[in-house]
Amino acid sequence: MKKIAFLVLAHADPDLFGRLCDSLDSSWCDVYVHIDKNINVEPFQAKAKSHDHICFVKDRFPVKWADISMISAQNALIRLALARKDQYLHCIFLSGSCYPIKPIHVLHKMLQAHPTTEFIKYIDMRSSPDHYLKQVTTDNIWSDTITPYFGSQWCALTLACCEFIIEYQNQNPWFWDMNIKTFSPDEHFYHSIVGNSRFASLATGIQEFVARGTWRMANLHIIHPSLSKYYTFDDFQEICSSNKFFVRKVRSEDGASLIDAINSGLILDQIQ
């Protein structure tokens, strides 16, 4: 039976990372991890040492916020998963501050029911106020041969789609060059590739522009409209009522009791 490949970008909070590793310790998945090259990887490796299904990217990248280096790190994760592509249903992107709010087997069952679906929502930047279009056109010329799409970085893609994303970059080096000067390419790079490809018809895909907010393009995550809020135990009821599979963001500093509640009140209850 095919599994899930979780692709994790982390740069801080090894304690939370350890709890995330524990939560993903399942026969239903493998975990691939990129730790920012600016950060000491050893505390993260120590937290994962008891999990033999976790693989760390060896050739790491120094990741800068809203920079093309984010795509370099994500590409590295995709390539690791593609080395065993026949074993997986989907690749799911997570950050080190994400946490599951449902058992992995529930997520796995959902993906099995939608084996060809690309869980990636996006809007056409041209239909939004110039705020979004400026992400790709400020100090940059965007080719009119490809529609610019905008969405959340945290998506779930089939291995066929992931393979296409890497092949597209290899065959179209101009696309990478065009994105070097864009702002926050993690919010449009893959979306534009998918949205202009045959995979668009298989995606949750194009959404009507309602208002600004990356959180509106959330796929499997609860994302707060502020994008900066860290969820705590005070938010437990909101999480309980959600049909999503992950919460973003949590941290060990003020989220430990929330994670305890999720583990005992949501995940454990659904496993039993």
Residue with tokens 């179209």: 172
Give the Cα separation of 120 and 197 in Å (integer): 13
Q: What is the dihedral of CA 56, 60, 65, 67, to 10 degrees?
A: -130
Q: Which domain holds residue 141?
A: 3-271
DSSP for residue 212: S
Alpha helices in the chain (DSSP H): 14-23, 42-48, 69-82, 104-113, 130-137, 159-171, 173-179, 189-195, 236-240, 252-262, 268-271
Helices 252-262 & 14-23 angle (0-180, nearest 10): 20
Give the Cα separation of 248 and 201 in Å (integer): 28
Residue with tokens 């940059």: 140
The closest of 235, 221, 134 to 184, measured between CA atoms, is 134
Tens-digit pLDDT string for the chain (272 aa):
899 999 999 999 999 999 999 999 999 999 999 999 999 999 999 999 999 999 999 999 999 999 999 999 999 999 999 999 999 999 999 999 999 999 999 999 999 999 999 999 999 999 998 999 999 999 999 999 999 999 999 999 999 999 999 999 999 999 999 999 999 999 999 999 999 999 999 999 999 999 999 999 999 999 999 999 999 999 999 999 999 999 999 999 999 999 999 999 876 545 44
Looking up residue 133, the CATH number of its domain turns out to be: 3.90.550
Tally of domains in the chain: 1
pLDDT score of 265: 81
Give the Cα separation of 223 and 247 in Å (integer): 7
For the beta carbon of residue 271, count every other beta carbon within 10 angstroms: 11
pLDDT score of 7: 98
